[in-house]
Amino acid sequence: MVGDFPVWSRDGQWLAYTWADGIYIVQNSLKAEPRLLVHLESPEPSISVPVPVYEYYPAKEYYPPIASWSPDGQWLVYHAHNTNPVDTHAGSWAKYYSIFKVNVNIGEVTKLLDGGYSPFWRWPVEEP
């Protein structure tokens, strides 16, 4: 398995990670095969897979999508580069991103907003 930015589901049964062409998930099992959950296009057409675009894209305004699990393990949130900046009052680089969520069971993707990046789920605090 090759990938960057690994994140475990809350129950430890699944791992999500980013690679050259998108976000993958794999079950925590010796024989599990990774599954491409979200295919992402390169923001720079001259860079193609299997090279991770975030390693070679000019450092000015590209941050790799890093997934975050929902507390129930049914969703991931992530950001994706938007080649058409949105007019927001977000930070100078945030205007180049949109935030999405994806259902890990069926792969349904929903855009949540434009002009944001690095989303994370807040898991409820458990009593000791």
70 contact partners, CB below 8 Å, separation of at least 6: 76, 77, 101, 121
- Output the pLDDT for position 33: 94
Look up the pTM and report it: 0.80
What are the boundaries of each domain within the chain?
4-114
User: What is d(CA 39, CA 70) in angstroms, rounded to the nearest whole number?
Assistant: 20
Q: Please provide the distance, in angstroms rounded to a whole number, between the alpha carbons at the two ends of the chain.
A: 35
* Per-residue model confidence as pLDDT tens digits over 66-101: 899 999 999 999 998 877 767 655 556 677 788 999
Q: How far apart are CA 120 and CA 77, in angstroms?
A: 7
Which residue is listed with tokens 């590209």?
62
What amino acid is encoded at 50 in this protein?
Answer: P
pLDDT tens-digit profile of 24-58? 999 999 999 999 999 887 666 555 555 555 554 55
